[in-house]
Amino acid sequence: MKQSVYSMCGMCTVRCPIRVESEDNQVTWIEGNPHLLGGALCAKGTAGVALVNDSQRPQSPLIRVGARGAGRWREAGWDEALDYIAAKLKTIKQTHGPESVVLSSRGGPWQGMYKAFIHAFGSPNYTNHDCTCGRNTHHASLSINGVGRKGFGYDIRNARHLVLFGRDMFSALRIAENHQTLDMLDKGGRLTYVDVRQTMTGAKASRFFQIRPGTDYALALGLIHEVIKRGYYDQDFLDRYVSGFDELCSFIEAYTPAWAAKECNIREKELLAFVDEIGEDRPGVIFHPGWNLARYRDSFYASRAMHILNVLMGNIELKGGLFIPKGAADCGLPGIRSIDCAKPDIKRGDGVGWQYTHFDKGPGLAHLFFNNMLKEDPYPIKAWIAMRHDPFSGMPDPQQQKLAFDKCELLVSIDTNYSEYGWYSDVILPESTYLERDTPIVQQKGLKPRLAVRRKAVEPRYDTRASWEIFTGLAHRLGLEATFPFTTIEELWAWQLEPTGHTMADFEEKGFVELIDQPLWHDRDQLDSTFKTPSGRIELVSEKLTKAGLPSLKPFEKPEAAEKGMFRLIYGKVAVHTQGHTTNNPMLSELMPTNTAWINTKQAKKLGIQTGDQVELSSADHSYNATVAAQVTDHVHPEAVFTVHGFGKEIPRQRRSFLAGVSDQKLMVGALDDWDQAGGGISLCEVFVHVKKSIRNTTRRAEL
Ligand SMILES: Nc1nc2c(c(=O)[nH]1)N[C@H]1C(S)=C(S)[C@@H](COP(=O)(O)OP(=O)(O)OC[C@H]3O[C@@H](n4cnc5c(=O)[nH]c(N)nc54)[C@H](O)[C@@H]3O)O[C@H]1N2
Ligand SMILES: Nc1nc2c(c(=O)[nH]1)N[C@H]1C(S)=C(S)[C@@H](COP(=O)(O)OP(=O)(O)OC[C@H]3O[C@@H](n4cnc5c(=O)[nH]c(N)nc54)[C@H](O)[C@@H]3O)O[C@H]1N2
Ligand code: SF4
Ligand SMILES: [Mo]
């Protein structure tokens, strides 16, 4: 029988709205929800069909029988696997206390449910991936605006100029954002892109700066200097909402465009021409504060500088600028209910909140657990549950992580695939793919907030379950029914919707429920309660940072230079893969089966390397190395070597991706301890690697 459902894509964490057709329990068609995306879907989104049909994913719960990582598993039924985990958790709780269990996840709109589980169990230790993603920019925004990274959205479609620093949005896709940017360009808007290499986004830009790696902060300081010097700022907005402008003016004096151009290896003339454009286009100039801002030691300050530029434009809650995402309460409506449980009043095991007081306590910082685990300080960690999270792929230096995980008596992976961490764990609980499962309802904030839900398009192909069922199953075995009282998704949905007066039937027509007809903007003269800083103003000099002994306006420090024969390792996303979890997808692995090493033409010449030659990339201590083909190009800075993340996997059951390409995170030996004290993020781009022509080249072999 033919069926059609509205749902949400799950091939990456953008979660685009989709419409899915199926026949006889087979997915036959996926498209972007026509009401929101006009049918558009990316390559990864279409490859959801291949994910469902992939036999190289776990097909039932698995319990390890050999040594950790040896790859010997026995299949178990759900009752057996959940009983096994619950029994272990109970013993660990009795012996070491509930706080000795950590749950990490990939964040996202359902993280409240995972958090509620671990909190109800009695542990404060919920953490997520964000120390490797947006934490620096999140904390940068918090320190200036008093609201985090998600406290602002970007009205790109109506902007006159979008400025992106290392935000390669046409590879690291969000379809709706890409549509908005293309519409802006069609209307004559400008796009300035800054990167150390040319990208899909740079190719669409009206201005492209290829800067020296790690110098975004210098470029931003030069811009702030010139913007202030020329008076290209909104004095009224500054007077009304901002503190610290005088301190900024004296700090910025030394950072001239000529200085910035030199630090960044760009032309001063180009920089000044860019400032001319900012003058013409303001206030509709959006400086995107970055998702990661590429993760250097000063990315927190670089991101703060982007926020400062936005504040100077006075573009907050302005058409064509930044907006505050609205929810049900802003529309005067009751919100949905969500599973929740208060956090136990126990010190976090990563030190966030008591050792490090300036960080957001919510998910803490995952990497700060590892050293504490080794020292059993402030207490031992004995179990780690990774829900939709692969620490060995998303976090650097898996070998070092293993030492900490070896202190645990229980490692659980809840995943649709075999992850690198899952392969090392004790129990794998396979989640049904996004096309085979329902999820709780979520509120999506924005100018036009809405309620959305994921609906299953087909029944699970293997013996897998949805995460809400997995957590409910565990909760019921651990006496946590009060937090997870539901036994069916229909009960859960009805409870969630009850205060709103909506029913599931309201999702049928378009796949979502719109909470308001027209975009909702706050009155720009009434933003006083918006900025949740200690002073209630936008703080260019942050009281909280000062208290933590950290500068707000930090002098620029030159990035480290590479030692001879070494290059800075740069990585990034590509439009046909998501992080580390699609390189084994039957369709996507065909589109891009391996990564390559981009190397600058002049450097390649010195090393005798041509495009297609095999090159060996080794970690600084040579403990990890891999061989991949070289891509020789002018479009990468001479100090850097670039590779796409997600490859170099070592999971034998994933035969398509097994040992294909190089793993950037395995090259990052020692990087777990190199993190930004002000922003909290790991400095993933402060890694140097050896690059040489491989002896595996056939021509070279002939020479030998
Ligand atoms: N297709 C696809 N889309 C995705 C994802 C995915 O895996 N695949 N992941 C999603 C996620 S979780 C995130 S966080 C976002 C990430 O979105 P982005 O941050 O836009 O993505 P990255 O590819 O990580 O961007 C890193 C870029 O920074 C550049 N870079 C390196 N050093 C410097 C430097 O010193 N200065 C500047 N200016 N640039 C530098 C790299 O060359 C690279 O192009 O993408 C999201 N979208
Ligand atoms: N070296 C290096 N490190 C990086 C990055 C990089 O580019 N280079 N990128 C960084 C960024 S921006 C991020 S966001 C992190 C991401 O790091 P992670 O959060 O670990 O990565 P993901 O690959 O998104 O997802 C983790 C796991 O979720 C599983 N998964 C996917 N879909 C589902 C599902 O529907 N249900 C369940 N239960 N599991 C699912 C995947 O199979 C995968 O094993 O990595 C960061 N670390
Ligand atoms: S960007 Fe692509 S993979 Fe990500 S949610 Fe949207 S359609 Fe799916
Ligand atoms: Mo990310």
Question: 462 vs 61, 445, 483, 536, 640, CA distance in Å?
Answer: 10, 34, 28, 53, 44
Q: Is the pLDDT of residue 577 over 70?
A: yes
Extended strands (E) in 416-564:
427-430, 442-444, 450-452, 512-514, 538-539
Q: Using one digit for the tens of pLDDT, what is the confidence trace for 354-382?
A: 999 999 989 999 999 999 999 999 999 99
CATH 2.40.40.20 residue window(s) in the chain: 566-703
d(Cα 94, Cα 545) in Å, to the nearest integer? 39
Q: How far is CA 18 from the centre of its chain?
A: 21
How far is the centre of ligand 3, averaged over its atoms, from the C-alpha of 661 (Å)? 24
CB of 685 shorter than 6 A to ligand 1: yes
- In this prediction, residue 698 has a pLDDT band, given cuts at 50, 70 and 90, of low
Q: Whose CA is nearest to atom 7 of ligand 3?
A: 45
How far is the centre of ligand 1, averaged over its atoms, from the C-alpha of 352 (Å)? 26
Q: Using one digit for the tens of pLDDT, what is the confidence trace for 34-50?
A: 999 999 999 999 999 99
How far is the centre of ligand 3, averaged over its atoms, from the C-alpha of 14 (Å)? 6
Q: Whose CA is nearest to atom 8 of ligand 1?
A: 578
CB crowding 334-356: b at 16 or more within 10 Å, else e: ebbebbebebeeeebbbbbbeeb
Residue type, 30: I
- In this prediction, residue 654 has a pLDDT band, given cuts at 50, 70 and 90, of very high
Q: Which two tokens stand for residue 367?
A: 């990497």
User: How much is the average pLDDT of 674-695?
Assistant: 96
Q: Is the pLDDT of residue 344 over 80?
A: yes
d(Cα 3, Cα 12) in Å, to the nearest integer? 24
11 CA: nearest ligand 3 atom: 3
Q: Which two tokens stand for residue 411?
A: 């490692």
- In this prediction, residue 703 has a pLDDT band, given cuts at 50, 70 and 90, of very low
Class of domain 153-323: alpha beta
d(Cα 684, Cα 672) in Å, to the nearest integer? 9
How would DSSP label each residue in 513-537?
Answer: EES-SS-----TT--TTT--STTSS
What architecture is the 62-67+75-133+335-514 domain classified under in CATH?
3-Layer(aba) Sandwich (3.40)
Give, for 647, the enclosing helix (H) or strand (E). none
Higher pLDDT, 464 or 564: 464
Question: 542 vs 153, 247, 271, 355, CA distance in Å?
Answer: 22, 11, 29, 19
How far is the centre of ligand 4, averaged over its atoms, from the C-alpha of 134 (Å)? 6
Burial of residue 613 (CB within 10 Å: 0-12, 13-18, 19+) is buried
- In this prediction, residue 700 has a pLDDT band, given cuts at 50, 70 and 90, of very low
174 CA: nearest ligand 3 atom: 1
Tell me how long the chain is: 704
- In this prediction, residue 695 has a pLDDT band, given cuts at 50, 70 and 90, of confident
Q: Which two tokens stand for residue 108?
A: 């996202």
d(Cα 167, Cα 291) in Å, to the nearest integer? 7
Q: Which two tokens stand for residue 34?
A: 């026509």
Q: Using one digit for the tens of pLDDT, what is the confidence trace for 437-460?
A: 999 999 999 999 999 999 999 999
How far is the centre of ligand 4, averaged over its atoms, from the C-alpha of 356 (Å)? 23
CB of 168 shorter than 6 A to ligand 2: no
> According to the model, what pLDDT value does residue 276 have?
98
Give, for 132, the enclosing helix (H) or strand (E). none
Q: Which residues contact 145 (CB under 8 A, 6 or more apart)?
A: 151, 152, 307, 531, 532, 533, 538
How far is the centre of ligand 2, averaged over its atoms, from the C-alpha of 580 (Å)? 6
Q: Is the pLDDT of residue 699 over 80?
A: no
Q: Is the pLDDT of residue 220 over 70?
A: yes
Q: Which residues contact 182 (CB under 8 A, 6 or more apart)?
A: none
How far is the centre of ligand 3, averaged over its atoms, from the C-alpha of 7 (Å)? 12
What value does the mean pLDDT of the chain take?
Answer: 96
Nearest Cα to 535, choosing from 524, 550, 546, 525?
546
CATH 3.40.228.10 residue window(s) in the chain: 153-323
CB of 51 shorter than 6 A to ligand 3: no
Helix, strand, coil distribution of the chain in percent, nearest 5: 35, 20, 45
CATH 2.20.25.90 residue window(s) in the chain: 2-53
Residue 688 in contact with residue 620, Cβ under 8 Å?
yes
* Best residue for ligand 1 mutational test, from 168, 568, 600 (most atoms within 8 Å of Cβ): 168
CB of 435 shorter than 6 A to ligand 3: no
Question: 56 vs 52, 61, 179, 376, 423, CA distance in Å?
Answer: 10, 14, 34, 37, 13
Mode of pairing for the β-strands spanning 614-618 and 383-387: unpaired
Q: Which fold has domain 2-53?
A: N-terminal domain of TfIIb (2.20.25)
> According to the model, what pLDDT value does residue 379 have?
98
CB of 306 shorter than 6 A to ligand 3: no
How far is the centre of ligand 1, averaged over its atoms, from the C-alpha of 168 (Å)? 5
Q: Is the pLDDT of residue 517 over 60?
A: yes
> According to the model, what pLDDT value does residue 701 have?
45
- In this prediction, residue 694 has a pLDDT band, given cuts at 50, 70 and 90, of very high
CB of 573 shorter than 6 A to ligand 1: yes
Total-model pTM: 0.97
d(Cα 675, Cα 292) in Å, to the nearest integer? 13
Q: Which fold has domain 566-703?
A: Barwin-like endoglucanases (2.40.40)
User: How much is the average pLDDT of 307-332?
Assistant: 97
Local structure of 159: helix, strand or coil? coil
Mode of pairing for the β-strands spanning 597-600 and 625-633: parallel
How far is the centre of ligand 1, averaged over its atoms, from the C-alpha of 170 (Å)? 10
d(Cα 443, Cα 435) in Å, to the nearest integer? 20
CB of 181 shorter than 6 A to ligand 1: no
d(Cα 176, Cα 271) in Å, to the nearest integer? 30
> According to the model, what pLDDT value does residue 697 have?
80
CB of 431 shorter than 6 A to ligand 2: yes
Report the alpha-carbon angle 401-405-409, nearest 5.
Answer: 175
Q: Whose CA is nearest to atom 4 of ligand 3?
A: 12
Residue type, 276: D
Q: Whose CA is nearest to atom 1 of ligand 3?
A: 174
Q: Whose CA is nearest to atom 11 of ligand 2?
A: 133
Nearest Cα to 546, choosing from 414, 700, 678, 704?
678
CB of 295 shorter than 6 A to ligand 2: no
CB of 579 shorter than 6 A to ligand 2: yes
Residue 622 in contact with residue 690, Cβ under 8 Å?
yes
CB of 288 shorter than 6 A to ligand 1: no
Q: Using one digit for the tens of pLDDT, what is the confidence trace for 282-294?
A: 999 999 998 888 8
* Best residue for ligand 1 mutational test, from 573, 583, 637 (most atoms within 8 Å of Cβ): 573
User: How much is the average pLDDT of 62-82?
Assistant: 97
Q: Using one digit for the tens of pLDDT, what is the confidence trace for 241-276?
A: 999 999 999 999 999 999 999 999 999 999 999 999
* Best residue for ligand 2 mutational test, from 388, 471, 662 (most atoms within 8 Å of Cβ): 388
Q: Whose CA is nearest to atom 10 of ligand 1?
A: 172
CATH 3.40.50.740 residue window(s) in the chain: 62-67+75-133+335-514
Q: Using one digit for the tens of pLDDT, what is the confidence trace for 101-151?
A: 999 999 999 999 999 999 999 999 999 999 999 999 999 999 999 999 999
Residue 585 in contact with residue 50, Cβ under 8 Å?
yes
Higher pLDDT, 292 or 78: 78
Report the alpha-carbon angle 474-479-482, nearest 5.
Answer: 95
Nearest Cα to 692, choosing from 631, 607, 629?
607
Share of the chain above pLDDT 90, in %: 96
- The alpha-helical segments, DSSP class H, found in 74-211 are 78-96, 111-121, 135-145, 175-186, 200-204
CB of 172 shorter than 6 A to ligand 3: no
Q: Using one digit for the tens of pLDDT, what is the confidence trace for 181-214?
A: 999 999 999 999 999 999 999 999 999 999 999 9
Q: Is the pLDDT of residue 532 over 90?
A: yes
Q: Whose CA is nearest to atom 4 of ligand 2?
A: 394
Local structure of 412: helix, strand or coil? strand
CB of 168 shorter than 6 A to ligand 1: yes
Q: Is the pLDDT of residue 704 over 70?
A: no
d(Cα 590, Cα 584) in Å, to the nearest integer? 9
CB of 324 shorter than 6 A to ligand 3: no
How far is the centre of ligand 2, averaged over its atoms, from the C-alpha of 418 (Å)? 12
